[in-house]
Every structure is written in structure tokens, then in C-alpha cells.
Amino acid sequence: MTCAWVRVATPDELQVNQMKLLHLSDRRVVLARTERDYVAFDDRCPLKGGSLADGVLAGCVAACRLARLPIRRPHGSGRGGSGEGVGDHLQGGGG
């Protein structure tokens, strides 16, 4: 497998608690800026299957508009009852 870095945003492009949907190959990935860092995770709610990019990010918790529950922490596992997390893709390098 070959890995390559792909520039998806500039360091100051997103404000705190803002998310951006990325289309990388055949995957939908959310890039989000928290108060501490940038994170990326799969754009799929584990509860309802909806888009997390269409939801809300507050601190370390993303909420899906379909599930209407805080369902994941960008650095941790799911909340809201399922216990199922969403795949993290990267952390770090906020600037």
C-alpha cells in the first residue's frame, strides 16, 4: 500500500468547531477543528447512517442531525447508546 500526504485545507481555513466534508478517493471524510487541534473522521453516523459533516461540532463532540444525539468524540468512541465509534483518520499538526 502506498501512502501519500494530501493537502485538504490551509491551517487557518476552519474556525473552532467548524467542519468540512472531504471526498478522498471513494471515502467521505470530515475534517474538523476543535479548540486544541484538527481531527478527521468518517462522515457516517453510527446510529442513523447520516452525514456527520451536516451535524454540529461542539468541543470534542460531534452530533448528527438525524440521530439528534451527541454520538462521538473526535478523539474517542461513540456516545448515545450504541458504543460504536467512528473511524479516526488523523490527529495533530494544527499549524
What's the whole-model pTM score? 0.71
Whole-number pLDDT of residue 78: 42
What are 42-76's pLDDT values in tens digits? 898 888 888 999 988 887 788 888 877 776 555 54
Structural domain boundaries in the chain: 18-91
Tell me how far apart the 2 most distant CA atoms of the chain are, in Å. Answer: 38
CA-based nearest residue to 48, from 62, 67, 61: 67
- When pLDDT is cut at 50, 70 and 90, the band that residue 23 belongs to is very high
CATH of domain 18-91: 2.102.10.10
Q: What is the DSSP track for 28-40?
A: EEEEEE-SS-EEE
